[in-house]
Amino acid sequence: MGIFKIAFIGGGNMGKAIAAAVIKNNLAAPQDVCISDISQQKLYQLQDELGVRITTNNMEAVVGADIVVLAIKPQTIDVVMAEMAERLPRPALLFSIIAGINVETLVNGFCHQAVVRAMPNIPAQIGKGITVWTATQDVMFAQRINAEAIVHVMGHGIYTGYESYLDLATAISGSGPAYTFLFMEELIESAKAIGMPEELAKLLVQQTVLGSAEYAKASDKNLAELRSSVTSPNGTTAAAIHVFEEGNFGGLIQKAVKSAYQRAQVLGSK
Percentage of residues of the chain with pLDDT beyond 70: 99
Residues 42-59: what's their mean pLDDT?
Answer: 96
Helices assigned H by DSSP within the chain? 13-24, 40-50, 58-62, 77-84, 103-110, 141-154, 164-169, 176-193, 198-218, 223-229, 236-246, 249-268
| β-strands 115-119, 67-70 pairing | unpaired
pLDDT confidence tier of residue 270, bands split at 50, 70 and 90 = low
The CATH number linked to 143 is: 3.40.50.720
Mean pLDDT of the chain: 95
137 & 232 share domain: no
Residue type, 70: L
Task: Tell whether 108 is covered by a domain.
Answer: yes
What pLDDT score does 170 carry? 92
Task: Tell whether 171 is covered by a domain.
Answer: no
With beta carbons less than 8 A apart as the criterion, state whether 83 and 103 touch.
no
Q: What is the pLDDT of residues 190-234, one digit of tens each?
A: 999 999 999 999 999 999 999 999 999 999 999 999 999 999 999
22 & 86 share domain: yes
Dist. CA 151–CA 190, nearest whole Å: 37
Dist. CA 104–CA 192, nearest whole Å: 49
Residues 146-172: what's their mean pLDDT?
Answer: 95
113 & 68 share domain: yes
66 & 121 share domain: yes
Q: Which domain holds residue 48?
A: 6-161
- 107 burial type by CB count under 10 A (0-12 exposed, 13-18 middle, 19+ buried): middle
182 & 262 share domain: yes
Dist. CA 145–CA 140, nearest whole Å: 9
pLDDT confidence tier of residue 264, bands split at 50, 70 and 90 = confident
104 & 15 share domain: yes
Q: Output the pTM of the full model.
A: 0.89
Residues 129-157: what's their mean pLDDT?
Answer: 96
Dist. CA 151–CA 133, nearest whole Å: 8
Residue at which a domain ends, from 161, 184, 205: 161
191 & 108 share domain: no
Residues 101-130: what's their mean pLDDT?
Answer: 95
Q: What is the pLDDT of residues 55-93, one digit of tens each?
A: 999 999 999 999 999 999 999 999 999 999 999 998 999
Q: What is the largest CA-CA distance in the chain?
A: 66
3-state secondary structure of 158: strand
